Amino acid sequence: MKIEGRNAVKEALQSGTTILKLLISKTSNDKVTKEIVSLAKSRGVKYQFVDPLVLKKMSVTGKHQGMIAETSTYQYYTVEDILLEAKQKQEDPFLLILDGIEDPHNLGSIIRVCDCMGVHGILIGKNRACGVNETVIKVSAGATSYVKVAQVTNIHQTMEELKKKGIFIYACELGGEDIAKSKLTGPIAIVVGSEGKGMSALTKKIADQMITIPMFGYVNSLNASVSAGMVLYEAMMQRRK
């Protein structure tokens, strides 16, 4: 797998992600490049200056910014890993469940938002959903190095198991209670549905409560990453009080 772009590479180095090799354009000689080279040296990461055409051919996203790091396949976490992080921080679990997000740009943006909002981890399905790939890493601006993502076989079964552990599950969908009037504190998981189809009927049935982002315009829908950002921000503000 390739990590492309300066921010993503820098965050990967700082977080201790295992990098097999770092390739840098020969034409890059600015302050940021020098900082990343210095960081690579301190981490013992092999790096090499190459012709820009080499990076162009290697790039998956087409936006490598003169830098590509080669690493192993993304290592997913387990749900237990995520819950353990919350326990170690002495915080109530704060999770995000994605029900069928397929666009890597949306997933990358959501991961970035989760890092900013203090979410302990994200749960995604193995089937009919986007996994963590090069585009996701690039769009997340390096947040994949910090936010734990668990890929589960069955989202619905996992939701049932979380409920047994005392985690209250909110489904963010039209027709629910205003998010500002909902109690988004304590051990919670928030579900956001897919870009086109929304969330499945079974997901809504399993969830403990439906919550809705109030809207007052003519277009009665929001991009999945925007919806996630808004509901997570509301939850984060409530949890800080």
- Give percent above pLDDT 70 in the chain: 100
121 and 182: one domain? yes
CATH number of the CATH domain containing 31: 3.30.1330.30
Place 16 in a pLDDT band, splitting at 50, 70 and 90.
confident
111 and 197: one domain? yes
Task: Point out the domain boundary residue: 71, 90, 124.
Answer: 71
Residue-number span of the structural domain to which 138 is assigned: 79-240
Contact 152, 126 (CB under 8 A): yes
pLDDT digits (tens, 9 = 90+) for 217-226: 877 778 899 9
Half-sphere exposure for 183 (CA within 13 Å, toward CB): 4
Place 194 in a pLDDT band, splitting at 50, 70 and 90.
confident
Contact 4, 59 (CB under 8 A): yes
CATH number of the CATH domain containing 193: 3.40.1280.10
Task: Point out the domain boundary residue: 51, 71, 91.
Answer: 71
Domain count within the chain: 2
Tell me the one-letter amino acid at 155.
I
